[in-house]
Amino acid sequence: PCNLTGWWENDLGSKMQVFKVGNDGNFFGEYHTAVSSTKNPIQPSPLIGSQHLDEDGQHTFGFTVNWKKFSDSTAVFVGQCFNGDDGKEVLHTSWLLREKVNSEPDDWRATR
């Protein structure tokens, strides 16, 4: 079965470390993004999530990253872990990023 524990890297060079997945599927770790629109120095950011554990091992999961150390934004990721034909585990994810805006009329541009 797919195991989220450990280091993962995406095609943009961002890295995620999941420290441990509990028996209930809950996990936490750090996200080390390689991309940012803020001018502040990028820092590792905490993540917390949950994985749906099932029999075939190709689990779905979701997690939230709080960029509080260098930005006023939060991101959520959802995805699935696949066991490839070559035996490697691969994560496929989608994400939403919510940036802070100063007024409700600017809400339309706050989520990517």
Query: Residue 51: inside a domain, yes or no?
Result: yes
pLDDT at res. 13: 92
Q: Count the residues in the chain.
A: 112
Distance CA 23, CA 12 (A): 31
Domain span including residue 102: 6-109
User: Whose CA is closest to 18, among 26, 7, 10?
Assistant: 7
- Cα dihedral 65→68→74→76 (10° resolution): 0
Give the mean pLDDT of 19-46: 90
pLDDT at res. 102: 94
Query: Residue 100: inside a domain, yes or no?
Result: yes
Maximal C-alpha separation, the chain: 50
Say what the pTM is.
Answer: 0.87
Query: Residue 79: inside a domain, yes or no?
Result: yes
Query: Residue 62: inside a domain, yes or no?
Result: yes
Query: Residue 14: inside a domain, yes or no?
Result: yes
CATH label of the domain that carries residue 52? 2.40.128.30
Distance CA 3, CA 73 (A): 28
DSSP 12: T
Query: Residue 1: inside a domain, yes or no?
Result: no
Q: How many domains does the chain have?
A: 1
Query: Residue 41: inside a domain, yes or no?
Result: yes
pLDDT tens per residue, range 37-62: 778 888 899 999 999 987 776 789 99
What percent of the chain clears pLDDT 90, i.e. is strictly above it? 68
Three-state DSSP at 83 gives strand
Q: How many CB atoms lie within 10 A of CB 39?
A: 7
pLDDT at res. 87: 82
Query: Residue 37: inside a domain, yes or no?
Result: yes
